[in-house]
Amino acid sequence: MKLLLVLLALSGLTATASATRGVEEPLELGFGDFFVQPAGPRGLEPTARLLAAHGREVRIVGFMVQREHVQPGRFLLTPRPVAMSEHADGEADDLPAATVTVLLPDAQRARVVAHQAGPLALSGRLEYGPAEDETGRVSWLRLHLAPGALAAQPAAAAAAHSN
């Protein structure tokens, strides 16, 4: 009990210190925080934590979906490694319900991000609710990356292609 009180006090001090600096730390959000488990008779329902995260800066750790047809300015993030074969599978993909569409900043909307294996930690503004993209795909979760979020990657990618 004393340990719990100490942890609660320390977490309050951390939040207060961040607030006094005027910088809000991103909310740590896991894929398990998205939907009520188990799914009920009405299907998937968002958790209170997901609804509270809508419009806020969050940090999510997940895996980039490996796709046959990469779309500029966006990629998909899932709780586990997934490879999509759009040509063979069409609309019958294996994406989990908790798939996040990661959107690059407007200045980078033409950029194609190469697949990266392994877990990625991304921060950005979370948006929850249905939205249809230009291909007709509807996403329920979108992470808007901040400008410069991928700024270090082009130099590394250019060096890899020059070898």
Global confidence as pTM? 0.74
Q: What's the pLDDT band for 54 if we cut at 50, 70, 90?
A: very high
Q: How confident is the model at residue 87 (pLDDT cuts 50, 70, 90)?
A: low
Residue at token pair 């934590």: 49
In this prediction, residue 158 carries a pLDDT of 36
Sign, CA dihedral 94-96-97-100, equals: negative
User: Tell me, what's the pLDDT at 133?
Assistant: 87
Structural domains for the chain: 23-148 (2.40.50.870)
Q: Measured in Å, how far apart are the chain's first and last C-alpha atoms?
A: 58
Tell me the pLDDT tens digit for each residue of 103-153. 999 889 899 999 999 999 999 999 999 999 888 888 999 999 988 777 654
> Which two tokens mark 74?
């966006």
Q: In the Cβ-directed half-sphere of 113, how many Cα atoms lie within 13 Å?
A: 25
* Amino acid present at 162: S
Those residues with Cβ within 8 angstroms of residue 90's Cβ, 6 or more apart along the chain or in another chain: none
